[in-house]
């Protein structure tokens, strides 16, 4: 996709080394006070979410788009029109509690504020969509290095040549995030992420990026390039920036989204969305 907008204040690094130990409430308060930056590594063990808010007369099409494309768009919550609260975070304000937002008019990026109260409309329906930052703690616990966190960068994200299934007026390409994974950790990365389908689940592609129509890993469409080890395999997960690509392709009159990599921190623990590990069931069956 040509003309993909870039965040203006790159590189973005969350400067507090203790961010992993923050509670989600503390993180939201810091963001409300103006702190901006990628949220990978923030509030360990809690679920992070992408945000897209569209006018109510576009909400059904967006909901249907998410239902038809659950891999990139796993819906965790949908608000009532005009509401800026969510059951996922007690006392949170979706207009102020993300590090940075994007404001769209007719599919064009017009602003990237840290507070969207001045842009908010009473007809906006907000969708909170699971984010792969959530399962990075499980990957790390399984010995999978998280290169972008190690390097203080935003995760690289790429617009692919794969088209999502359209829904009404909403259409657009699949967007993926990429993490370089050592070959000996690949099976662990696939296994651990597959147990959390509500935050994108297992990868959509491993290996040669040309299989997704990606020409240069060093030039992500969103986020930052990361340095891989010589033997690392690029592993691609469906990404919640996909609705932003759909906004650019479908051109609704108005939308508000998160800035890529700068997510909403929910109160939900990641284990609330974890499915049963089939290996555990097999072991129980053997010992029964």
pLDDT for res 246: 98
Lowest mean pLDDT among 20-29, 113-122, 125-134, 275-284: 275-284
pLDDT for res 20: 87
Res. 9 pLDDT band, cuts 50 70 90: very low
pLDDT for res 47: 97
pLDDT for res 17: 65
pLDDT for res 19: 87
Q: Left (φ > 0), alpha (ψ -120 to 50) or beta: where does 107 sit?
A: left
CATH class of 22-271: alpha beta
Work out the average pLDDT over 230-240.
98
Closest residue by Cα to residue 253 from 66, 107, 124, 121 = 107
Res. 10 pLDDT band, cuts 50 70 90: very low
Q: Is the pLDDT of residue 53 over 80?
A: yes
pLDDT for res 165: 98
Q: Is the pLDDT of residue 2 over 80?
A: no
Q: Is the pLDDT of residue 105 over 50?
A: yes
To which H or E segment does residue 78 belong?
strand 75-78
Helix/strand/coil for 51: strand
pTM of this prediction?
0.91
Q: Are 51 and 258 in contact (CB under 8 A)?
A: yes
To which H or E segment does residue 177 belong?
strand 173-181
């Amino acid at each position: 996709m040509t003309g993909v907008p870039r965040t203006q204040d790159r590189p973005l690094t969350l400067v507090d080394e203790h961010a992993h130990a923050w509670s989600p409430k503390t993180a939201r308060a810091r963001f409300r006070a103006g702190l901006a930056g990628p949220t990978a590594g923030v509030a360990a063990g809690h679920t992070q979410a992408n945000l897209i808010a569209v006018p109510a007369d576009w909400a059904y099409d967006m909901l249907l788009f998410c239902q038809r494309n659950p891999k990139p768009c796993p819906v965790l919550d949908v608000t009532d029109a005009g509401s800026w609260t969510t059951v996922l975070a007690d006392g949170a304000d979706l207009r102020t509690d993300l590090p940075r937002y994007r404001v769209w008019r007719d599919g064009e990026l017009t602003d990237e504020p840290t507070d969207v109260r001045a842009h908010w409309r009473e007809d906006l329906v907000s969708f909170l969509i699971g984010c792969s930052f959530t399962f990075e703690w499980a990957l790390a616990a399984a010995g999978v290095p998280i290169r972008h966190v190690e390097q203080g960068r935003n995760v690289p994200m790429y617009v692919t040549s794969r088209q999502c299934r359209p829904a009404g007026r909403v259409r657009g390409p699949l967007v993926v995030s990429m993490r370089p994974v050592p070959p000996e950790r690949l099976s662990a990365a696939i296994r651990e992420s597959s147990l959390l389908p509500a935050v994108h689940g297992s990868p959509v592609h491993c290996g040669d990026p040309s299989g997704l129509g990606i020409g240069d890993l060093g030039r992500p469409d969103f986020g930052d390039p990361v340095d891989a080890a010589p033997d690392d395999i690029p592993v691609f997960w469906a990404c919640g920036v996909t609705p932003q690509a759909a906004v650019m392709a479908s051109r609704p009159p108005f939308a508000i989204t998160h800035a890529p990599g700068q997510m909403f921190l929910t109160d939900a623990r990641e284990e609330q969305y974890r499915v049963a590990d089939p290996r555990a069931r097999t072991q129980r069956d053997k010992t029964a």
